[in-house]
Structure 1
Amino acid sequence: MSSKLNASIPAGIIIEGSSDLNPTQSHDELNRLLQRLGLQGATQVRQSAQNEDYFFEARLQQRYFDLWCPGFDTLQVQTRAPDFASSGAHALELEIVLTMLAAPQIMTFKSVAQLESHIRVRVNIARAAAKTSLAFNTEAAERPSEYWQGDSEKGFVIRQGVGLEEAIIAATQPEITGRQYEFSCYRAAEYLVLLGLAKEAKLANPTYLHELEAQCRLAVPRADPFHTTYVYEYGRPENPIPMRYYVPGDRLWFKNPDDRSSDVKGFEGSWVFYLGGGLFSNFWRRDKPFDLTSKCLEIYHWRDGARINSSGVLSMDESEVERQIELTRQSPEKLESVMSKMMVYRDPAGVYANGGCIDSTREVPRSLF
């Protein structure tokens, strides 16, 4: 349903309804959500009817959009919008809804209940991503054996009698087992989406949870089956999402635009989640999440860390990457030059021409119902 974005007007959220839903009840549910988060006075809500169906449009009023998310920049919304200081436990939920109301392309939901479920899934994912601490390894993988068993063909599957939520938490949060387990960022990002969905399904759709856990006892969805079943892409390369627009819980890919260093396995790019507050997940050092600048600098300087090791294999010297990052930070001119190269939409897969590291799309969890 998305159209070409207007650089100054938010598209926001649409609640699609059909004749079997009560428009007045749906309108009241939406208003209660906005009121609970303190956003009712900043939101424009309009009811429309088309044929026998109806829908509600909800978006930030223009003056609040211009103040809080100018040019679709949501990275500083916590400091620009005054309500975050007093929002307490609701801060993450508030940021999710506010940034969705500022969406550059329409976000569509079938009901207010589906919207609220989607918000909870995003909260689950962002919080889990902030807690995740892993050991980086693209050649091997480990999982806590009390929760997972290896399968030579299907990889790791959860054991009988073990819930998917507890299995993923045990594998990704070292407080549970006392150790970090080896992952690639690609696989870890898939696990965290499944975790977010499993936590919500326990509350909202137990049948979905039962089916998901049954699937994960046979084979945990990954790669193409995961992409087509559990997430969808928001935005398109020909109609990209603005470079500074992010909603907590977004899964996204920062591409390494350097042809040579991208041949180092695991350094083709980086899968991360947007945590909110201008920060992106760092699975390897969770106490040091990335901001947009630090993520761009890390990926840019992978080119300086690419080395032929003693075995004759192209590998990454991460200490040299860190050294080069610090040198760049000390030079405002070099920092500006690097950022101008990286803050460009990435080239398509396999192309290394004039693109930077920024993805034109975001990956969004699909609805449970």
Structure 2
Amino acid sequence: MKSVVTSMLLPALLSVLVLFTLMSFRVQAGNSHYSDDVTQHRAAYTNNNHGEDGVKFSCSIAQLNEIDQQMSVYFIQLGINATLIQRQLNPQAASLLFTLATPPNDFSTLNFRSRPEMQIRDQLISLPSAGGSMITVLTVSEKEIVLALMQHGRLTEFSGEQCNAETFIDHVKIRQNTVAWAELLEWGWPDGGKAKWNKKYWNKGTPLRGVSPSVAVADAFENQNKYSIGCYTATKLVMVQGILDYYHRIKKSPHELARVERRLMADGEPLVNIEPRAFWFFEEDFDANRLWENGKLLEMRYNIPPRNFVPGDWGYILNTDPKTKNKIGYEGSNAIYLGRGQFDDYYNDHNHSYLLREKLDEVYQWRNKVFSRSRDIDKVLPLTEGEMNALESAPDQGGLIMDTRAFFMISPSSSETLH
């Protein structure tokens, strides 16, 4: 009888084993294990389309010649040595491509400051603070941002109405302004509790009637002690503030400011859906019907190498621990890259910034129930060099760094409505 049962069960067990093996293979093979829709979306929004790297302009030859001259002047103003750049003007493809003259397999931007040939120095930036006074912060330079955009591993393309040097420079300066606003933050951390907002301007995360998003968002930076928010909300506030403040205070463009505010308020909620919904494609409860929804303000790209961040990028460090990832606020860490190898610290828990390995270690140690470095220091399990190296990869390769980046780049002719 035992042999009969075994002979009946064996094929079933083998079938289950084969199915389990196939499922495991699909999970380890990368993002193909999600759905055909996600695979198609990834193909449409990958970081490049023809193996190209750097900054690309696509428009008429007359425009490209003018852009070429303007970019040369801009590089000189920033102190970028011409030997650092590879320039490719392709009349047949009507394109102009600027790429760093680094090895093709060099994707990292985190160590630019330590590369002597790049001569990276920080910049002093003035920001408005409470009471109308100004404060000075030391932040990333335009030069570092431009060099990072031209590094191998990603493509940033300007075409159509965006195909001009002014739009590119705006893009760089918005990134710098975004980083500047993230330099000295000390918001409260709700730790799973309710968020706190300044009731003079906000009803929870919605501006009061008659309060513009520019005024409400700016208050979160000028009166930080009145706010206690999670890192997702904090990240959105920084991205929005960097853009609104640039058009209002730096470029002084009422038209552009009004356009951005209209987009933010299209659904009455300026902090909702600013990024494409596909940014969260990896979540278990992700609604595939929303995969192709655009963000109100930001774009995204997939397939970015783990150590490739441009200052002003919004990336994500995923908590891959099956237990603690279900704890509210500890699903992962939304991270804005500040340049100089540093990432944001919204709560001044770590002298206002984290190095990548410090950020990775912070998220990894959550599985050891280290939710406060000061309170839970005895629970920290130090990682070896090999373990840290492994974390500096994508989750499907045993690491924590998602291959997506979100950033601001919207054409002036973009639709004002949500899609």
Question: Smaller-chain TM-score range?
Answer: 0.7 to 0.9
SS in 2 for 1:301: helix
Structure 1 residue 77 corresponds to structure 2 residue 112? yes
Partner of 1:278: 341
Hey, what does 1:58 align to over in structure 2?
98
Distance in 1 (CA, whole Å) between partners of 2:354 and 2:377 is: 14
Q: Which residue of 2 aligns with 1:116?
A: 169
Q: Does the Cα contact within 8 Å between 2:206 and 2:270 map onto a contact in 1?
A: no
Aligned residue for 1:127?
180
The 1:50–1:201 alpha-carbon spacing in structure 2 relative to 1, beyond 3 Å, is: farther
How far apart, in 1, do the equivalents of 2:375 and 2:75 lie?
48
Q: Which residue identity does 2:227 align to in structure 1?
A: Y
Q: Which residue of 2 aligns with 1:26?
A: 67
Which runs of structure 1 show a deviation greater than 6 angstroms over 4 or more consecutive aligned residues?
none
Aligned residue among 137, 156, 159 for 1:107: 156
Shift of 1:4: 6.9
What do residues 140-193 of structure 1 show as CA deviations (whole Å, max 9, x unaligned)? 2222233x2317xxx421552x5534432321x3xx336251111111111111
Structure 2 CA distance, aligned partners of 1:340 and 1:295? Answer: 13
Q: Distance in 2 between the 1:2 and 1:158 partners?
A: 41
Instruction: Give the root-mean-square deviation of aligned CA atoms.
Output: 2.8
Match of 2:378 in 1: 323
How far is the alpha carbon of 1:108 from its aligned partner? 0.2
**Greater CA radius of gyration, 1 or 2?**
2
- Provide Cα deviations, 1:93-120, integer angstroms capped at 9, x if missing partner: 1110011111412210122111111101
Contact 2:306 2:401 in 1 (8 A): yes
Distance in 2 between the 1:70 and 1:288 partners?
32
1:107 match: secondary structure: strand
1:336 deviates by: 2.2
CA distance in 2, matches of 1:251, 1:185: 12
CA shift in 2, pair 1:32/1:321, >3 Å? farther
**CA shift in 2, pair 1:291/1:209, >3 Å:** same
Identify the residue that residue 145 of structure 2 maps to in structure 1.
Answer: 96
Q: Where do residues 310-349 of structure 1 align in structure 2 (5 Å cutoff)?
A: 316=371, 319=374, 321-325=376-380, 327-328=381-382, 334-347=383-396
Structure 1: gaps (5+ residues): 307-315, 329-333, 348-353
Q: Which runs of 5 or more structure 2 residues have no equivalent in the other structure?
A: 1-46, 125-138, 277-294, 413-419
Q: How much has 1:15 moved relative to structure 2?
A: 1.3
**CA drift at 1:75:** 1.0
**Number of equivalent positions:** 324
Distance 1:13 1:26 in 2: 12
Whole-angstrom distance in 2 between the partners of 1:317 and 1:278: 23
- 8 Å contact from structure 2 (residues 394, 401) kept in 1: yes
**In the superposition, relative to structure 1, how do residues 28 and 302 fare at CA in structure 2: closer, same or farther (>3 Å)?**
same
Q: Is the counterpart of residue 245 in structure 1 residue 245 in structure 2?
A: no
In structure 2, give the amino acid aligned to 1:364. F
Matched residue type, 1:232: E
TM-score normalized with structure 1 length: 0.78
- The percentage of counterpart residues that share the same residue type is 22
Give distance in 2, aligned partners of 1:201 and 1:13. 23
CA 1:291–1:299 in 2, change beyond 3 Å: closer, same or farther? same
Matching residue's letter, 2:174:
V
Map residues 139-154 of structure 1 onto 2, 5 A cutoff.
139-146=193-200, 148-150=201-203
Residues 368, 143 of structure 1: alpha-carbon distance in 2 compared, 3 angstrom cutoff: farther
Q: Report what 1:363 is aligned to.
A: 406
Alpha-carbon distance, 1:73 to partner: 1.5
Residue matched to 1:313: none
The alpha-carbon distance between structure 1 residues 83 and 243, as it changes in their structure 2 partners (threshold 3 A), is: closer
SS at match of 1:179: helix
Aligned counterparts of 1:87 and 1:317: Cα–Cα separation in 2: 31
1:40-80 deviation per Cα after TM superposition (whole angstroms, max 9, x unaligned): 512222222237xx32111122xxx24xx972121110111
